[in-house]
Amino acid sequence: MNIHDIKKEFPIFDDKIQNNDLVYLDSANSSQKPRIVVDRIYDFYTKEFSNVGRSVHYLAVAATNLYEQTRVSVQKYINAKDKDEIVFTKGATEAINLVANTFGQKYLSEGDEVLLTELEHHSNYVPWHFLRKAKNIKIEFAEINDDGEVTLEAIEKKITNKTKIISVSHLSNVTGAILPIKEIVQLAHLKNIPVLIDGCQGAPHLKLDMQDIDCDFYAISGHKMYGPTGIGVLYAKKKWLEDLPPYQGGGGMINEVKKEGITYGELPNKYEAGTMATAQVIAFNESIKFMEKIGIQNIEKHEKELLDYGLEKLRKNNSVNIIGNPKEKGGVISFTIEGVHPHDIATILDEDGVAIRAGHHCCQILHDKLNLPATARASFGVYNTKDDIDKLDEAINKCKKIFNL
Amino acid sequence: MNIHDIKKEFPIFDDKIQNNDLVYLDSANSSQKPRIVVDRIYDFYTKEFSNVGRSVHYLAVAATNLYEQTRVSVQKYINAKDKDEIVFTKGATEAINLVANTFGQKYLSEGDEVLLTELEHHSNYVPWHFLRKAKNIKIEFAEINDDGEVTLEAIEKKITNKTKIISVSHLSNVTGAILPIKEIVQLAHLKNIPVLIDGCQGAPHLKLDMQDIDCDFYAISGHKMYGPTGIGVLYAKKKWLEDLPPYQGGGGMINEVKKEGITYGELPNKYEAGTMATAQVIAFNESIKFMEKIGIQNIEKHEKELLDYGLEKLRKNNSVNIIGNPKEKGGVISFTIEGVHPHDIATILDEDGVAIRAGHHCCQILHDKLNLPATARASFGVYNTKDDIDKLDEAINKCKKIFNL
Amino acid sequence: MDLKDLYQEIILDHGKNPRNLGKFDNYNKDAKGNNPLCGDNVHVYLRLNENKKVEDIAFEGHGCAISMASASIMTDMVRGKEEKEVKEIVTDFLGMIKEKDSLETNILKDDEKTKLMSLSGVKQYPMRVKCATLSWHTLTSALDNSDQIVKTEE
Amino acid sequence: MDLKDLYQEIILDHGKNPRNLGKFDNYNKDAKGNNPLCGDNVHVYLRLNENKKVEDIAFEGHGCAISMASASIMTDMVRGKEEKEVKEIVTDFLGMIKEKDSLETNILKDDEKTKLMSLSGVKQYPMRVKCATLSWHTLTSALDNSDQIVKTEE
Ligand SMILES: Cc1ncc(COP(=O)(O)O)c(C=O)c1O
Ligand SMILES: Cc1ncc(COP(=O)(O)O)c(C=O)c1O
**What backbone torsions phi and psi does residue B236 show, to the nearest 5 degrees?**
-145, 140
Atom of ligand 1 nearest to the CA of B123: 4
* Residue A48 neighbours by CB under 8 Å, 6+ apart: A59, A62, A63, A66, B12
Instruction: Say which amino acid occupies A154.
Output: A
How far B276 CA lies from chain A's nearest CA (Å)? 6
Contact residues on chain B for D127, CB-CB shorter than 8 A? 347
Question: How far is the C-alpha of A139 from the C-alpha of A362, rounded, in Å?
Answer: 18
Q: Which residues of A84-95 are buried (b: 16+ CB within 10 A; e: fewer)?
A: bbbbbbbbbbbb
Span from the CA of B230 to the centroid of ligand 1 (angstroms): 12
pLDDT at C154: 38
Average pLDDT, chain B: 96
Same domain, B242 and B372: no
pLDDT by residue (tens digit) across B340-373? 999 999 999 999 999 999 999 999 999 999 999 8
CB distance B123 to ligand 1 below 6 Å = yes
Query: Which residues of B are annotated as catalytic?
Result: 362
The residue out of B257, B292, B327 marking a domain boundary is B292
Whether D154 has a pLDDT exceeding 60, the answer reads: no
The structural domain count of chain A equals 2
Same domain, B71 and B205: yes
H helices of B29-91, in order, are: 35-43, 58-77
Q: Are the Cβ atoms of B343 and D38 closer than 8 angstroms?
A: yes
pLDDT at A297: 96
Same domain, A141 and A283: yes
How far D142 CA lies from chain A's nearest CA (Å)? 20
Please, are residues B196 and B218 in contact by the beta-carbon 8 Å criterion? yes
Same domain, B180 and B66: yes
Same domain, A89 and A215: yes
Same domain, B269 and B305: no
Question: How far is the C-alpha of B68 from the C-alpha of B266, rounded, in Å?
Answer: 15
Residue B299 in any domain: the answer is yes
CB distance A75 to ligand 2 below 6 Å = no
**Max mean pLDDT range (A251-260, B216-225, B259-268):** B216-225
Same domain, A267 and A336: no
Residue A191 in any domain: the answer is yes
> Could you tell me whether strands C40-48 and B357-359 are parallel, antiparallel, or unpaired per DSSP bridges?
unpaired
Domains and CATH numbers, chain D: 3-144 (3.90.1010.10)
Question: How far is the C-alpha of D24 from the C-alpha of C77, rounded, in Å?
Answer: 96
pLDDT at C77: 95
Instruction: Return residues 100-139 of C near A (CB < 8 Å).
Output: 125, 127-128, 131
CB distance A336 to ligand 2 below 6 Å = no
CB distance A124 to ligand 2 below 6 Å = yes
Q: Are the Cβ atoms of D151 and A266 closer than 8 angstroms?
A: yes
The residue out of B292, B327, B344 marking a domain boundary is B292
E strands present in chain D? 29-35, 40-48, 54-62, 150-151
Helices A386-402 & A296-316, crossing angle to 10 degrees? 30
pLDDT by residue (tens digit) across A40-92? 999 999 999 999 876 788 899 899 999 999 999 999 999 999 999 999 999 99
pLDDT at B314: 96
Residue A370: which domain range? 295-402
Please, are residues A138 and A112 in contact by the beta-carbon 8 Å criterion? yes
DSSP A329: B
Question: How far is the C-alpha of B276 from the C-alpha of B228, rounded, in Å?
Answer: 14
With left for phi above 0 and alpha for psi between -120 and 50, is residue C73 left, alpha or beta?
A: alpha
Helices B278-294 & B35-43, crossing angle to 10 degrees? 150
> Could you tell me whether strands B138-142 and B163-169 are parallel, antiparallel, or unpaired per DSSP bridges?
unpaired
Residue B283 in any domain: the answer is yes
Please, are residues D35 and D12 in contact by the beta-carbon 8 Å criterion? no
Which among B151, B64, B149 has a CA at the least distance from the CA of B329? B149
Please, are residues B353 and B15 in contact by the beta-carbon 8 Å criterion? no
Same domain, B232 and B181: yes
Whether C24 has a pLDDT exceeding 70, the answer reads: yes
Same domain, B151 and B286: yes
Give the whole-number percent of chain B exceeding pLDDT 70: 100
Whether A173 has a pLDDT exceeding 70, the answer reads: yes
> Which pLDDT band, with edges at 50, 70 and 90, does D152 fall under?
low
ipTM of the prediction greater than 0.90, yes or no:
yes
Span from the CA of B121 to the centroid of ligand 1 (angstroms): 7
Atom of ligand 1 nearest to the CA of B95: 11
Contact residues on chain B for D65, CB-CB shorter than 8 A? 340-341, 344, 403
Same domain, B300 and B288: no
pLDDT by residue (tens digit) across A186-234? 999 999 999 999 999 999 999 999 999 999 999 999 999 999 999 999 9
Question: How far is the C-alpha of D95 from the C-alpha of D106, rounded, in Å?
Answer: 15
Residue A17 in any domain: the answer is no
Residue A7 in any domain: the answer is no
Contact residues on chain A for B90, CB-CB shorter than 8 A? 90, 94, 230, 274, 277
pLDDT by residue (tens digit) across B125-145? 999 999 999 999 999 999 999
CB distance B352 to ligand 1 below 6 Å = no
Whether D9 has a pLDDT exceeding 90, the answer reads: yes
The residue out of A269, A292, A315 marking a domain boundary is A292
Q: At B139, which CATH number?
A: 3.40.640.10
Instruction: Return residues 382-401 of B near A (CB < 8 Å).
Output: none
Identify which ligand lies nearest to the alpha carbon of B95.
Answer: 1
Which among B117, B156, B114 has a CA at the least distance from the CA of B137? B114
Which among B401, B33, D6 has a CA at the least distance from the CA of A51? B33
pLDDT at A130: 98
CB distance A249 to ligand 1 below 6 Å = no
Chain C CB within 8 Å of residue B265 CB:
yes
Whether C147 has a pLDDT exceeding 80, the answer reads: no
Atom of ligand 1 nearest to the CA of B91: 11
Question: What counts of helices (H) and strands (E) characterise chain C?
Answer: 6, 4
Q: Among A27, A88, A98, A123, which residue has the most ligand 2 atoms within 8 Å of its CB, making it the best to mutate? A: A123
**Cβ contacts from B onto D, under 8 A:** 50
Q: Are the Cβ atoms of B344 and D38 closer than 8 angstroms?
A: no
E strands present in D12-81? 29-35, 40-48, 54-62
Residue B88 in any domain: the answer is yes
Question: How far is the C-alpha of B251 from the C-alpha of A224, rounded, in Å?
Answer: 15
Same domain, B253 and B357: no
pLDDT by residue (tens digit) across B176-213? 999 999 999 999 999 999 999 999 999 999 999 999 99
What would the mean pLDDT of C127-133 be, rounded to a whole number? 90
Residue A23 in any domain: the answer is no
What would the mean pLDDT of B51-67 be, rounded to a whole number? 87
What would the mean pLDDT of A161-174 be, rounded to a whole number? 98
Which among B104, B80, B349 has a CA at the least distance from the CA of A101? B104
Q: Are the Cβ atoms of D1 and B360 closer than 8 angstroms?
A: no
Q: Among B26, B88, B201, B377, which residue has the most ligand 1 atoms within 8 Å of its CB, making it the best to mutate? A: B201
Q: Is C40 helix (H, G, I), strand (E, B) or coil?
A: strand
CB-nearest to D127 from A56, A254, A266 is A56
Residue A346, CA distances (Å) to A337, B223, C129 in order: 11, 36, 15
Strand order in the sheet with B138-142: B86-89, B232-236, B217-221, B195-198, B163-169, B113-117, B138-142
Q: Are the Cβ atoms of A344 and C1 closer than 8 angstroms?
A: no
Whether D148 has a pLDDT exceeding 80, the answer reads: no
CB distance B167 to ligand 1 below 6 Å = no
DSSP B312: H
pLDDT at B218: 98
pLDDT by residue (tens digit) across C26-58? 999 999 998 876 778 899 999 999 999 999 999
Instruction: Say which amino acid occupies A234.
Output: L
Residue A4 in any domain: the answer is no
Same domain, A44 and A70: yes
Please, are residues A155 and A185 in contact by the beta-carbon 8 Å criterion? no
Which among A199, A193, A239, A240 has a CA at the least distance from the CA of A218? A199
Nearest CA in chain A to C41: A373
> What does the DSSP assignment read for B122-166?
GGGTHHHHHHHHHH--EEEEEPP-TTS---HHHHHHH--TTEEEE
Chain C CB within 8 Å of residue B258 CB:
no
